A and B are shown apart, each in its own frame.
Chain A
Amino acid sequence: MPETTSLPTIVVVGHGMVGQRFLEALAKRGTTGRARIVVLCEEPRPAYDRVRLTSYFSGRTPDELSLVEPDFMERHGIELYLDDPAETVDRTTRTVTSRAGLTFTYDTLVLATGSYPYLPPVPGRDATGCFVYRTIEDLLAIEEYAKTARTGAVVGGGLLGLEAAGALRGLRLDTHIVEFAPRLMPVQVDEGGGAALLRTIEGMGLTVHTGVGTREVTTDASGAVNGMALSDGSVLAADLVVFSAGVRPRDRLARDAGLRVGERGGIAVDERCRTSDPRIFAIGECALAADGRVYGLVAPGYEMARTAADAIAEVAEGAAEFTGADLSTKLKLLGVDVASFGDAHGAAPGCLDVVYADSRSGVYKKVVVGADGSLLGGVLVGDADAYGMLRPLTGSVPPVPPEQLVLPPGAGTPAALGPASLPDSAVICGCHNVTKSAITACATLPEVKKCTKAGTGCGSCVKVIGQLLPAAGDGGLCGCFPHTRGELYEIVRTLRVTSYASLLDSHGREGARGGDGCEICKPAIGSIIASLAPTLGLSGHVLDGEQAALQDTNDHFLANLQRNGSYSIVPRIPGGEITPEKLIVIGEVARDFGLYTKITGGQRIDLFGARVEQLPVIWARLVAAGFESGHAYGKALRTVKSCVGRTWCRYGVQDSVRMAIDLELRYRGLRAPHKLKSAVSGCARECAEARGKDFGIIATAEGWNLYVGGNGGAEPRHADLLARDLDDESLVRLIDRFLMFYIRTADRLERTSAWLGRIEGGLDHVRDVVVNDSLGLCGELERLMADHVTGYRDEWAQTLEDPERLSRFVSFVNAPDAPDPTVRFVPERDQMKPDLTFLTLEGVSAR
């Protein structure tokens, strides 16, 4: 509220990416404590990561996109007015008035109003079904409208247009891109790069129209979009149109207030981001920088935020100036890497191009080299791994001949230069302007992110940062192995490694060979060997030989360790269906051994409080009654939940219980990088909560829809539709492939949801691999699963048959008959619970 205060007032108009960065910069300089700060924000939510806007469609929520730490505003005493844009600026009274009618008197005004999407003047552009792509609200509106649309068209084939096209495709629309220029991304890439991009994008099923303009958006009788007339006379049917034909700086407030603006827009500022009125600053996309350019990227905007904060805080020494910025970018558009840096189009006199192109794989790489041999810039399409290395080298003479910079590794050349060869002053993270020396001063990636912010912007530098950090930062599994889990899986599979020790001695890090490994790699490799056991010709029992020593205590005892050292027991109840006889057996066993019983969240029954030496006796009774291990202890298939389905439920359209049982029996015992859960619902009402599962199945009138990548837990995520209306056989075949592909490529302890979010190309890539067999892997994935299904044996039944395994189920090696006297219980609600007071009588307090 307007109020008088003795502190100077700084008013910030616009709370976008740059506005928020500016506030952080003020806080860092202590200015927030010395001034009243008011922020007017037009959008209904605080600043968010516009650069990652499209990740909303792959499941990132608006909250996750936020750039503002939850208590940031309170901590720094900043007044933020959401949903209330500034309407006028009066420079004589030094006031800003908002739409809601609030008036603030400023000592300093900062304009950070960003850009607006440019709408080309074509008739029909305001019709129902026309959208732009700039804010979360835009996405929500597109998502809603797409529900009733089949075909979408994007006007503009630049960076944002391709992002928008990717989003429409993700919404399952038939997608067209209309670009006026003769190639896609005309600003960033050259002709060769554009051609590579075009092939790849068309290969994904999108239709690209280049060299044509949009003449008119046509509508039906109700005024809704039904197509577009193009400049070549053709007509395109479309139910939804997204305009992405460039952006224009939002300089209206400044214009109205009489500030100097550029001929083609943009609020003119000097090197310190001051406008023609020294009390007013402009930063970000709305500003026309001192070098006469408007920058449409976030990194230069951040630089301006820093500059303005320095000027306002009156930083005396080394204050930042903004005189221009690098326009290098690396993007992943529709799953294709595209990067351009420096003089990408080879404009410098006397420069030469060195080009590598492989149209089969859609890879195009070009570097531009100056007459003196220095690297001037380049374009990378399809494989932009080299970007992180090449951009920092721009302006210097590279240590290897230029052709080695573009040839793929191993193509008859020695391994190209590594990041170690970069000078200390090389800027590794462009978004945050962080040099190599600042990065090598840190030990781990999290530390780098915390201390320098490097890697927290577009993320394109993370790979090089990893390579600059010491051992553990190299992406290796742990201190013992330099490989990722996926790589180790391939090593075990192709070299047929059957023991952990031999893998450690042959593929471990130098210092780890011959040692005992660690708690991270042992279970991870134990799980890989167990997953591949049938294929490697091993028995696969987790208690056999060396395998026994790799597993967590839960796998040692085939039960879950509880806080007092006792164990819980979860028999498998496939699909949650159980006969009265079996229920009675569970009840009797629990009663006879005095176990605490509880219905789990996984539609089965957990029996708690068994001592180690009781486990075999209890299981002997359960196995005799027809139960088997539920693998509640393993990184393995847990449950396939079901709803009651068509058999009983009046809405059900398929027999969900039968399908759940079939699936649970098929995949039981399957070891994976993390636990696996599933559920089957009998109709779209979804009573089994299948979309919260790693693979979930929902019945349709035609068959089954298969969803993958769902998760409960701390970061819940709904599963994505992989394929629809499958018959039983196709459903099972697809799940076989999906699971085996996950097991093969996921990281240790990476659930399917995190895996889908991480792997390149995400769900689309997985669909290509498991549905369209794009890697030619499906046959092998199915074989691996067939091996698993035939090789399955119940671990508990096998254990009971083997005296050697049974001999391990004792509390004390020197007193096999003695129970552990410290495992004690006290009564609660007619059952019992661990006696924890007794355990914690002495020692460090329990967490």
Chain B
Amino acid sequence: MNTTTSGAVLQLLLGEDWLPICDRSALIPGRGVAALLPDGRQAALFVDRGGRTYAIDNRDPYSGAQVLSRGLTGTRDGRAFVASPLLKQCFDLETGRCLDDDAVAVTVYASRLAH
């Protein structure tokens, strides 16, 4: 979590290491991007209007497709979420919890902007 600064690089925490993903400028609020991780998994990365970044697993647990980065984001009760573009279930971007089904959640990654 961090605040916008130009020239910054978005990093994800994988194990002990911060993995650089992309320039801050590649992210626009409300539109996610996907990243390929070294172990073959995929992450969905977002930034909100306040400049805060979020990262969750890219896989939509309902369809198995790697598409969460392509969902619409929003704020519900003050918390950021993304709606799966396939069948529209919503996931909390901070906790990964599915807001429509308590039994389902996706992995969350720590993210930051570094110079």
Question: Which of B30, B66, B75 is in CB contact (< 8 Å) with A549?
Answer: B30
Is the pair A516, B73 in contact by a Cβ cutoff of 8 Å? yes
| A633 vs B73: C-alpha distance when bound (angstroms) | 19
Is the pair B74, A812 in contact by a Cβ cutoff of 8 Å? no
A residues less than 8 Å from B63 (CB atoms):
563-564, 839-840, 846
Q: Which A residues, 494 to 516, have Cβ-Cβ distances below 8 Å to chain B?
A: 501, 511-512, 514-516
Given known pairs A514-B49, A515-B49, the reply for A839 and B64 (CB within 8 Å) is yes
Is the pair B74, A549 in contact by a Cβ cutoff of 8 Å? no
Is the pair B33, A501 in contact by a Cβ cutoff of 8 Å? no
Indicate if B86 sits at the interface (CB-CB under 8 A).
yes
Is the pair A549, B34 in contact by a Cβ cutoff of 8 Å? no
Indicate if A229 sits at the interface (CB-CB under 8 A).
no
Q: Which B residues, 11 to 34, have Cβ-Cβ distances below 8 Å to chain A?
A: 21-22, 26, 28-31, 33-34
Given known pairs A549-B29, A552-B72, the reply for A561 and B85 (CB within 8 Å) is yes
Is the pair B22, A522 in contact by a Cβ cutoff of 8 Å? no
Is the pair B65, A549 in contact by a Cβ cutoff of 8 Å? no
Q: Which A residues, 810 to 847, have Cβ-Cβ distances below 8 Å to chain B?
A: 811-815, 818, 820-823, 836, 838-844, 846-847
Question: Which of A548, A818, A841 is in CB contact (< 8 Å) with B36?
Answer: A818
Given known pairs A479-B76, A516-B49, A552-B85, the reply for A846 and B62 (CB within 8 Å) is yes
Indicate if B48 sits at the interface (CB-CB under 8 A).
yes
Is the pair A512, B75 in contact by a Cβ cutoff of 8 Å? yes
Min Cβ gap B113→A in Å is: 14
| A501 vs B28: C-alpha distance when bound (angstroms) | 13
Is the pair B65, A839 in contact by a Cβ cutoff of 8 Å? yes
B residues less than 8 Å from A574 (CB atoms):
none
Classify chain B's interface size.
35 or more
Min Cβ gap B31→A in Å is: 4
Indicate if A640 sits at the interface (CB-CB under 8 A).
no
- Give the number of residue pairs across the A-B interface with Cβ within 8 Å: 120
Question: Which of A512, A516, A839, A841 is in CB contact (< 8 Å) with B80?
Answer: A516
Interface size for A (C-beta < 8 A) is 46
Residue-by-residue, is B43-66 near A (CB-CB < 8 Å gives 1, otherwise 0)?
A: 001001110000000010111111
Is the pair B31, A812 in contact by a Cβ cutoff of 8 Å? no
Is the pair B22, A565 in contact by a Cβ cutoff of 8 Å? no
Indicate if A40 sits at the interface (CB-CB under 8 A).
no
Is the pair A515, B34 in contact by a Cβ cutoff of 8 Å? no
| A815 vs B58: C-alpha distance when bound (angstroms) | 15
B residues less than 8 Å from A843 (CB atoms):
59, 61-62, 64
B residues less than 8 Å from A518 (CB atoms):
72, 74-76
Specify which of A519, A557, A815 lies most central, judged by the most chain B CB atoms within 10 Å of its CB: A519
Is the pair A814, B71 in contact by a Cβ cutoff of 8 Å? no
Min Cβ gap A414→B in Å is: 34
Return the chain B residue nearest A844 by Cβ. B61
Residue-by-residue, is B78-115 near A (CB-CB < 8 Å gives 1, otherwise 0)?
A: 10100101111010000000000000100000000000
| A515 vs B67: C-alpha distance when bound (angstroms) | 23
Is the pair B42, A812 in contact by a Cβ cutoff of 8 Å? yes
Is the pair A511, B76 in contact by a Cβ cutoff of 8 Å? no
Min Cβ gap A731→B in Å is: 38
Min Cβ gap B58→A in Å is: 9
Return the chain A residue nearest B85 by Cβ. A553
A residues less than 8 Å from B71 (CB atoms):
519, 553
| A480 vs B81: C-alpha distance when bound (angstroms) | 14
Min Cβ gap B82→A in Å is: 8
Min Cβ gap B35→A in Å is: 5
| A561 vs B67: C-alpha distance when bound (angstroms) | 9
B residues less than 8 Å from A814 (CB atoms):
21-22, 35-36
Return the chain B residue nearest A818 by Cβ. B36
| A552 vs B31: C-alpha distance when bound (angstroms) | 10
Is the pair A813, B61 in contact by a Cβ cutoff of 8 Å? no
Is the pair A813, B21 in contact by a Cβ cutoff of 8 Å? yes
Min Cβ gap A839→B in Å is: 3
Indicate if A238 sits at the interface (CB-CB under 8 A).
no
Is the pair A812, B85 in contact by a Cβ cutoff of 8 Å? no
Binding site for B on A (CB under 8 A): 479-480, 501, 511-512, 514-519, 522-523, 546, 548-550, 552-554, 556-557, 561, 563-565, 811-815, 818, 820-823, 836, 838-844, 846-847
| 6 A-B contact pairs sorted by A residue (CB < 8 Å) | A501-B49, A519-B83, A522-B30, A549-B30, A813-B45, A847-B62
Binding site for A on B (CB under 8 A): 21-22, 26, 28-31, 33-36, 40, 42, 45, 48-50, 59, 61-67, 70-76, 78, 80, 83, 85-88, 90, 104
Known: A516-B80, A548-B31, A844-B61; 16 extra A-B contacts, CB below 8 A, are A480-B74, A546-B28, A554-B85, A563-B65, A564-B63, A811-B34, A812-B42, A814-B36, A820-B42, A822-B42, A822-B65, A841-B64, A842-B64, A843-B62, A843-B64, A846-B64
